[in-house]
Amino acid sequence: MNKEDLLQAQIVKWFRNEYQMHGKGLIFSTPNGGTRNIVEAKKLKATGTMAGVADLTILLPNAKTIFVELKTDIGKQSEVQKIFETKVKNLNFEYYLIRSLEQFKELINDTSRGNKV
């Protein structure tokens, strides 16, 4: 696993233990990377796969949805990721670029307390 994969695994584990297990939210990923053959790639595109989709989607009580893109300390968003971020924000959803487990914990704990981040 690369550093972003490890960060994602840590975040998912923490959220599932602290929130999802207690019925306080859901977290899931949209697998959007990797190598695929041409037939599979065409099928995925036809059935809704979209380039640039955030790494994680978090659903919290009161119809709150958060999109999270994960990057290492030096990682940068691709142009299609920036376009997805703009579209999400234009629809009044929250989108965050997260670089550490601690940053994610702070975001979720603040959001769950009703604080604006």
Domain spans in the chain, listed from the N-terminal domain onward: 3-112
Q: Is 28 helix (H, G, I), strand (E, B) or coil?
A: strand
Model confidence at 67: pLDDT above 70: yes
At 51, the pLDDT band (50, 70, 90 cuts) reads confident
pLDDT greater than 80 at residue 117: no
Cα(105)–Cα(63) distance, integer angstroms: 20
Cross-strand pairs, 66: 58, 94
State the pLDDT at residue 33. Answer: 66
Our separate counts of H helices and E strands in the chain read: 4, 4
**CB proximity list for 97: less than 8 A, separation 6 or greater:** 68, 69, 71, 77, 85
CA angle 105, 109, 111 (to 5 degrees): 120
87-107 confidence digits (pLDDT tens):
999 999 999 999 999 999 999
- What would the mean pLDDT of 74-88 be, rounded to a whole number? 97
Entry field: residues in the chain: 117
- CB-based burial label for 7 (10 Å; 0-12, 13-18, 19+): buried
Give the right CATH number for 3-112 from 3.40.50.970, 3.40.1350.10, 3.20.20.70, 3.20.20.80. Answer: 3.40.1350.10
| Segment 36-47, tens digit of pLDDT | 788 887 888 888
